[in-house]
Structure 1
Amino acid sequence: MIELIYSDLCNGCGQCVTVCPTNVLALSPQGKPRIADQQACQTCFMCELYC
């Protein structure tokens, strides 16, 4: 299950949001990913792979 996002290392490309199969992530108003539905995470690591 996703626990945190290193926003200081994020360039805001949004790839992690796009590839997440269960829509766990969403873009914040600042253009950075945020955890929108942590319980839906299947720990597939697609977000990490595309980061």
Structure 2
Amino acid sequence: MKICISCGKQAKSYTEFKGPNGEKIVRCKHCKEVGIPYKTETGFEGP
């Protein structure tokens, strides 16, 4: 399980990808499908 960057909860089903600055981004299935925004430590904001 990993922690979702959008909601902060631990997720069993998640998507992990790299951001534009090379950071790892983890989003749970729910946040990705609904389109809840997120912000990385480097300041990048995603949909």
Shorter-chain-normalised TM-score: which range? Answer: under 0.3
TM-score of the pair, normalised by structure 1: 0.22
Higher relative contact order (CA 8 A, sep 6+): 1
Q: Which has the higher strand share?
A: 2
Q: Which has the higher helix share?
A: 1
TM-score of the pair, normalised by structure 2: 0.23
